[in-house]
Amino acid sequence: MSNIKKLFILALVGGMFSLTACGAGDSADSTPTESTAESTASTESAAETTTPVTTEAQEVTTTQFTYTTEQWKEPEEYGKVIALTFDDGPNTTTTNEVLDVLKEFDVKGTFFVIGNNINADTVPVMQRAVSQGCEIGSHSMTHDYMNSMTEEEITADTEQVNQLIKDAIGTEPKFFRPPYIATSGRMYRLINMMFIAGFGCDDWDPAVDVETRVNKTLEQSCDGAIILLHDAQGNSQTVEALRQIIPELQKQGYEFVTVSELFHAKGIQYVPGVKVTFSKVPQ
């Protein structure tokens, strides 16, 4: 079955819901809300609204870093893969501490950044992430609930953050994490990126201790999973948790990849506009 067909069927089956086949359940970076009434209004087929983009090797170069997909293996050469993702940065403290740990264990992650946090101080942190092989996604401009925004507000928010990311690292994001994992049909229609949720451990809550973060993450880990963590300023408990999560999953045979590489490893072509919020890449 072609990958496009596979995604089309997924869109029909998955509808507006997150794909959360493994682990104890879905999670968000805060209290998730129900989709708006508009969510169920759209019956147009995903195939008609998608624009396939090939995953050919691409290279983005600035004076400070090089990002390339040329080192990607063929999909059949991957074993168990998993994607660590981090929301609510960038900042110059915790984001750098997360990058230090990723570097220490020689693994990659994906950072879903908030546009309002992108500035002259944090652009170099984003560039550092890319230079370590990490990917940058969008977590919106303002981190407001976008499912209650007008069309104009959604479009303006998306264009603004995507331009800031492009100015910082030379390329626009391919993936979008909706704030609070709150989605609507209007958002799916207007935001031309693939939507990503993930398996979280409520690490945005300071009351959740390191051990709980580690255990919940490990319990929910499975082949193709997207792990949802936060690099918000001061979230040192997640930095500590990572020091346990990464070596344990390595011991279990997982390879850490970016979200782009996760889809590539599972043979799924990147298709923006598909009406699914992914927590796991289907096999």
Q: Where does this chain bind Zn ion (CB under 5 A)?
A: 29, 87-88
Q: Which is nearer to Zn ion, 29 or 203 (CB)?
A: 29
What is the rounded (10 degree) CA torsion for 26, 241, 213, 93? -70
User: Given 26, 29, 87, 203, which residue is catalytic?
Assistant: 87
Alpha-carbon span 28 to 41, nearest angstrom: 24
CB of 218 to Zn ion, least distance (A): 22
Q: Which two tokens stand for residue 243?
A: 């020091």
**Catalytic residue (one of 26, 88, 203, 230):** 230
230 is catalytic: yes
Find all residues with CB under 8 Å of 76, minimum gap 6, and list them.
none
Query: Given the complex with Zn ion, which of 30 and 131 has the nearer CB atom?
Result: 30
- Work out how close the CB of 179 gets to Zn ion at its nearest, in angstroms, rounded to a whole number: 5
Q: How far is the CB of 78 from Zn ion (least distance, A)?
A: 29
Q: Is 38 or 144 the residue whose CB approaches Zn ion more closely?
A: 144
Residue 14 beta carbon to Zn ion: minimum distance, rounded to whole angstroms: 22
Nearer to Zn ion, 87 or 255 (CB): 87
Is the Cβ of residue 86 or residue 256 nearer to Zn ion in the bound state? Answer: 86
209 is catalytic: no
CA atoms within 13 A on the CB side of 16: 23
| Residue number with CB closer to Zn ion (232 or 239) | 232
In angstroms, what is the minimal distance from the CB of 222 to Zn ion? 23
CB–CB of 107/81 below 8 Å?
A: no
Q: How far is the CB of 232 from Zn ion (least distance, A)?
A: 8
Rounded distance, CA 20 to CA 76, Å?
A: 23
Catalytic residue numbers read 87, 230
